Structure 1
Amino acid sequence: MNQADHSSGFIVDDRVLNLRRPHGGGRDLRAWDAADEQLVAEARQRLRPGDRVAVVDDGFGALALGLADFAPTVIADSAALAEALDRNAAANNLTVPPIRSWLDEPGLGEASVEDSGPFDAVVLKVPRQLDYLDFLLRWANRVLRPDGWLLTGGMIKHLPDQAAGLYRERVTTETVFPARKKARMVLCRPGTDGLDGWDGLWKGYTTPGSGLSIRALPAVFARERLDIGTRELLPLIADAVAPLPAGGRVLDLACGNGVLGLEVLSARPDLSVTFADISSQAVLSASGNARALGVAGEQCRLVHADGVPADAGRFQRILLNPPFHEGGVVGDHIALRLFAEAAQCLDEGGELLMVGNRHLGYHRSLRSVFGDIRQLRASPKFVVFRASDPLAKHR
């Protein structure tokens, strides 16, 4: 592993890893936090040669590469981890471990794979959503050996409310470590509650107007109710796609449960919609909702990708409700990247329709990429814009 100044590297025993975020995060942010440091240090003390270990929802490779000599099975909901691991493994002369997502998990995805586990240990970065934590604890109960252990951790400010009660219900807590550097770890033994028969695995709602039945898995944003930003954009969808010719192509970017793209297909079943999201559970959710609507084949393409899929081609319409946080980082850096990628794959005369938080000033960000921006709708918290005429074509 490359050597570096300990003040700027991720320390693993007496070695230092150089880790970077793939897209910089909008600022000079580290690719790891104190929870990553403590999880790797504690796991390395407990693991023995030959132990099977799973690393779940690593951020940018700190956990997977910090435990690289144990050849961990790496499972992540986020498609962003693949690029981060490629870059950071290469920077440290390490082999890139294979990455699985929930698309590969029996009972969730459709891939024909063997069941995960049994594992001697699971090292888990605690998510912000309580429902997703519930999912992960139940999953760990399923894949751990009876004498295995689960080590979880996260920054205290990012831990979900009521997490302590959930640990009591789902697993046997062995040690709650003292908080250090604003991070907390919990060591557990497996409990008995699994994913089979869990009525909280899927939750959903019915859309106003078109009456679509929308469901989603635990890691998906706004899975129990239509979020207020999408509520502003949804009524404009049918008119936005009405002029398109049969077979016209639409991209639901950062699709979540797929509600925007499904609204397109509800109004215009003769169009083709690509659903893309960084979350594998979002892609699974959009896939299930599309099947329930009776759309498949060329009408409906689903892609697990960080941003616009590399082989996406060109689109007449792109729909976007951009995420404004990445882990604990809040801002417009994700939206800026998505705007630029969207502009590159718009067809001649194509349009981006997006809704965003008013306070983030997306009209300014859009002007850096598009020549024509029009406000279509506004509420006290959200604004809907139509953007066209990418500036890149004038250069």
Structure 2
Amino acid sequence: MTTAELVFSQGRLTLSRPGTADPTLRAWDAADELLLEAALDAAAGFDEPRVLIVDDQFGALALGLSRFSPTIVADSAVLPVALAKNVSFNPAFPVAEPVYSWINPPAGLFDLVVLRIPRQADYLAWLLRWLNGVISDSGVLLAGGMIKHLPAKSVEVFAEAVQTEQVLPARKKARAIRCRKGAASLAGWPGAWKGYAVTGRNGDVEVEALPAVFAREKLDIGSRLLVPHVAKVASTLKAGDSVLDLACGNGVLGLTALAERDDLQLGFSDVSSQAVLSARHNVEQAFPGANAIFSHCDGIDAGTNACDLILLNPPFHEGGVVGDHIALRLFEQASQHLRPGGRLLMVGNRHLGYHRSLRRYFSSVEQLDASPKFVVFRAGNR
């Protein structure tokens, strides 16, 4: 965890960023600064504005706008944990609202919406269409992000969905825009679900996903290398054995296991609520009778039982930061949630050297496959 101070017109916030000890990684950036000041200006135009904050990163926006008792919704399960910690550091900026996700989104109408622009153009398009349904007729949308992380087609996405009133001057390589609601909605929008098919024991399995999910239109090359090994190992399991698809995304690894044995107990866990919704959708469509549970959490839920097999294609970036800090935390959690004789089956980027880091947590590490960019490992504890 790293801690730094954010100074803005209403005071000072002490903010921590969980999951890393790198002092160069702060819990806020210039886009948060820009959005905070723009939101405070916009809020002055309303008597008692109802404020919605969408996809705050670590709580800077929620705390900075706490005087308005904002409603908060975020795709990432990191935010509730980070916000709880940061509220404890800043008692003068209380935030009482729970953090909603796309599993249980809040109801409108809102006078002021403050949105961190995501990196994915499709997710931005989804968000803007959803927001059109919860912004009041006189409401204001403020959207911002770091310029280098804005989607390539963000101008077109905004033009198709909302009415742009003003592009605010850039500040410290951050950009924000002020908008009004548009007519576009999610109803009938073809971009909501996209997917592909994977071949299982009894034929193709359709795998679809919502826009915030990694590699939703085609099987990523890392998972492509791992999938045959998942099928092989799953076929050796017994009825009722417990399998966890960790950082599940659309659930393709867990679905591959179910395609081999539909009598397994499957868990699906992801930090993204849209990933959890997507995995649930795919299981219900392909294996409606499966014994499956779904968890929206950062890693492995504390109540998860010990597993016979954990499947993992770990993320290697978080908000534009590339590294192995997420994978290391997942390795540690996986080592603590395997039954005796249980195995972790994973794929990772070759350049991140996971063969070394896995040995910190597992007594047995074996390379099963490799390509120029990815390596498949099986790990366990004797």
Measured against the shorter chain, the TM-score band is over 0.9
Answer yes or no: is the 8 Å Cα contact 1:36–1:62 preserved in 2. yes
1:14 to partner: Cα distance: 4.1
1:261-292 Cα distance to aligned partner (Å, 9 max, x none): 01111101111000000000000000000010
Answer yes or no: is the 8 Å Cα contact 1:13–1:41 preserved in 2. yes
TM superposition score normalised by structure 2: 0.95
Aligned to 1:215, what secondary structure does the other structure show? strand
2:179 aligns to what? 188
1:49 to partner: Cα distance: 4.1
- Match runs of 1:1-395 below 5 Å: 8-24=4-20, 26-47=22-43, 48-93=46-91, 94-105=94-105, 116-209=107-200, 210-296=203-289, 299-389=291-381
Q: Which amino acid aligns with 2:149?
A: H
1:44-65 Cα distance to aligned partner (Å, 9 max, x none): 1111341011000000000111
| Structure 1: unaligned runs, 5 residues or longer | 1-6, 106-114, 391-395
Are residues 316 and 27 of structure 1, via their aligned partners in 2, closer, same or farther at CA, if it must alter by over 3 Å? Answer: farther
Answer yes or no: is the 8 Å Cα contact 2:118–2:150 preserved in 1. yes
Distance 2:165 2:204 in 1: 47
TM superposition score normalised by structure 1: 0.92
Aligned to 2:17, what secondary structure does the other structure show? coil
Are residues 171 and 312 of structure 1, via their aligned partners in 2, closer, same or farther at CA, if it must alter by over 3 Å? Answer: same
1:234 to partner: Cα distance: 0.4
1:238 to partner: Cα distance: 2.0
Distance 1:285 1:294 in 2: 14
1:121 to partner: Cα distance: 1.1
Are residues 278 and 25 of structure 1, via their aligned partners in 2, closer, same or farther at CA, if it must alter by over 3 Å? Answer: farther
Answer yes or no: is the 8 Å Cα contact 1:26–1:333 preserved in 2. no
> Which of 12-21 and 212-221 deviates more?
12-21
Answer yes or no: is the 8 Å Cα contact 2:162–2:181 preserved in 1. yes
Answer yes or no: is the 8 Å Cα contact 1:89–1:96 preserved in 2. no
Answer yes or no: is the 8 Å Cα contact 1:101–1:280 preserved in 2. yes
1:28 to partner: Cα distance: 4.4
Are residues 287 and 38 of structure 1, via their aligned partners in 2, closer, same or farther at CA, if it must alter by over 3 Å? Answer: same
1:25 to partner: Cα distance: 6.1
Distance 2:379 2:334 in 1: 10
Segments ≥4 residues shifted beyond 6 Å: none
Distance 1:76 1:10 in 2: 21
Q: Which amino acid aligns with 1:238?
A: A
Answer yes or no: is the 8 Å Cα contact 1:49–1:70 preserved in 2. no
Distance 2:10 2:273 in 1: 35
Answer yes or no: is the 8 Å Cα contact 1:355–1:385 preserved in 2. yes
1:159 to partner: Cα distance: 0.5
Q: Which amino acid aligns with 1:200?
A: G
Answer yes or no: is the 8 Å Cα contact 1:85–1:96 preserved in 2. no
Distance 1:81 1:250 in 2: 27
Percent identity for Structure 1 against Structure 2: 55
> Which of 242-251 and 23-32 deviates more?
23-32
Are residues 27 and 237 of structure 1, via their aligned partners in 2, closer, same or farther at CA, if it must alter by over 3 Å? Answer: farther
Distance 2:224 2:199 in 1: 9
Aligned to 2:204, what secondary structure does the other structure show? coil
Distance 2:10 2:186 in 1: 40
Are residues 296 and 58 of structure 1, via their aligned partners in 2, closer, same or farther at CA, if it must alter by over 3 Å? Answer: farther
Q: Which amino acid aligns with 2:219?
A: L
Q: Report how many aligned residue pairs link the two structures.
A: 374
